[in-house]
Structure 1
Amino acid sequence: MIQIVTDSASDITLKQAEEMNVQIVPLTILFEDGVCPQETDEDFQIFYEKLIKENGLPKTSQPTPNKYLEIFRLAKEVGDEVLVITLSGGLSGTVQSAKLAKDLAGYERIEIIDSKQAILTQRMLVEYAVKLRDEGKTLDEITALVLKQREKLTVFGMLDTLTYL
């Protein structure tokens, strides 16, 4: 079996992840009043409300390698292959945590893809990987096709302020 793993920057809730058979490794988001989880639809709504209401911007922390290592060790035990699609390495050290965990796991059937994206486009890559897995593609085929798809994605946005860039 091929396990697909991503992080919470993909905006996939735990319920959606369960439906897609995807594992989510959470990033930590800290507001002045504490940690803001990213698991349920309500959590995401609270996060966006806090962004509007809070004076300062939240801080984020990448997942520790141990979060990935646990997944990788379990996959190795049962003989599953793993595809990890992370938040852009240009925005976070998440991909480095996953790579370190792969080295520590000592398991070769793990592929790690830096999405070079975030949120919607990262999610699109995960959904594409799920589709390919469910069609019966191999890990190598899925990896190659997701990498090819990644190069086709472009995001355009309009901002009402440049204050936070």
Structure 2
Amino acid sequence: MIHIVTDSAADLPAEILKEHNIHVVPLTVKINGVEYREGVDLSPLEFQQKMLSSRELPVTSQPSPYNFFNVFQELSKKGQVLCLTLSSKLSGTFQSACVAKNMLGEKVKVYDTLAGSLGQGIQVIKAAKWAAEGLSIDEIIEKLDAVRKEMSILILLDTLENIVKGGRLSRFQGSLAKVLDIKVILHAVEGAVEVLDKVRGKKRFLMRAVEVISERGKDFSEKIFGITHLDNEEDANFLKGVIKERFNPKEVIVCPMGSTMGTYAGKGGMIISFG
């Protein structure tokens, strides 16, 4: 039997974790000097409330190797373990999992999704389904390589406030963007994040994201889309409706964004993943 493990940055809803028997190792986030385990001590809604009332940007940290080791050790007694982590270009989570794996040997394998949020989560869901179908770990990893290569991730920043707090943008630049109603679309490139476009106005911003999706494929009938949001259910559901109508994908998952990804996306931010 193959047991699937991931970390909390995958932003998978509790019902999906339960349905596919997926085990989660939480990252941590520190807000106003208090440290919380993502998804354990702090729900997405609680994180939103605390982050929005904090003057400083929350600080996220990867799980320790010991946290992974405890999960791997228990599961490896009952079979093999495949752990899919947050992109190694964004966090040390993959390295922590690898340290833990090296303590236990060949019964555990660690896979770098080169993604976060539901870009990571979609790969986890597919791995769990393939494991349930009886595929070997090597066969699952071969299939994951193909999915990872085709995965597209768009990050829609409704506000640049958290980018300013994090020091990546000056306060003047952030204020100018706010006055001009400038929204930013980022995208994932080999696990890292780069600016894709800057758009003025909410409606043009959302429809530009839809245009980018259409530029990245023709047949989406077998694709799973994931949309996570930070306090922006209205726009997330609007995009869900447009995506279903225009692209007819296999499935569209919409859920709140956790603290790891939400710290960087900021209020109103969304991440659209498909693959």
TM-score by length of 1: 0.88
Does structure 2 retain, via aligned residues, the 8 Å contact 1:6–1:23?
A: yes
Equivalence for 2:150: 152
In the alignment, structure 1 residue 34 sits paired with structure 2 residue 34 = yes
In the alignment, structure 1 residue 112 sits paired with structure 2 residue 110 = yes
Query: 1:120 Cα deviation (Å)?
Result: 1.5
Does structure 2 retain, via aligned residues, the 8 Å contact 1:65–1:98?
A: yes
| Distance (Å, rounded) in 2 between the aligned partners of 1:28 and 1:122 | 18
The one-letter code of the counterpart of 1:25 is V
> How large is the Cα RMSD of the aligned pairs?
1.9
In the alignment, structure 1 residue 4 sits paired with structure 2 residue 4 = yes
| Distance (Å, rounded) in 1 between the aligned partners of 2:33 and 2:75 | 36
Q: Deviations over 1:4-45 (max 9, x none)?
A: 0000111125554233201100101110051233326x7111
Equivalence for 1:25: 25
Change (3 A) 1:61 1:157: closer
The one-letter code of the counterpart of 1:35 is E
Mapping 1:7-86, distance limit 5 Å = 7-14=7-14, 16-39=16-39, 43-78=43-78, 80-86=79-85
| Distance (Å, rounded) in 2 between the aligned partners of 1:24 and 1:76 | 15
Does structure 2 retain, via aligned residues, the 8 Å contact 1:36–1:43?
A: no
| Distance (Å, rounded) in 1 between the aligned partners of 2:151 and 2:117 | 12
SS of corresponding position for 1:143: helix
Does structure 2 retain, via aligned residues, the 8 Å contact 1:13–1:39?
A: no
The one-letter code of the counterpart of 1:125 is Q
In the alignment, structure 1 residue 95 sits paired with structure 2 residue 102 = no
Q: Which has the higher strand share?
A: 2
Query: 1:52 Cα deviation (Å)?
Result: 2.1
Query: 1:139 Cα deviation (Å)?
Result: 1.2
The one-letter code of the counterpart of 1:120 is L
In the alignment, structure 1 residue 137 sits paired with structure 2 residue 135 = yes
Does structure 1 retain, via aligned residues, the 8 Å contact 2:4–2:82?
A: yes
Query: 1:71 Cα deviation (Å)?
Result: 2.2
| Distance (Å, rounded) in 1 between the aligned partners of 2:3 and 2:74 | 11
Does structure 1 retain, via aligned residues, the 8 Å contact 2:81–2:108?
A: yes
Rg larger in 1 or in 2? 2
Does structure 1 retain, via aligned residues, the 8 Å contact 2:12–2:118?
A: no
- Give unpaired runs (5+ residues) of structure 2: 169-275
Equivalence for 1:126: 124
The one-letter code of the counterpart of 2:123 is L
Does structure 2 retain, via aligned residues, the 8 Å contact 1:28–1:62?
A: yes
SS of corresponding position for 2:84: strand
Please list every run of at least 4 consecutive aligned residues from structure 1 whose deviation after the TM superposition is greater than 6 angstroms. Answer: none
The one-letter code of the counterpart of 1:137 is L
Change (3 A) 1:14 1:37: farther
Aligned-residue sequence identity (percent) comes to 33
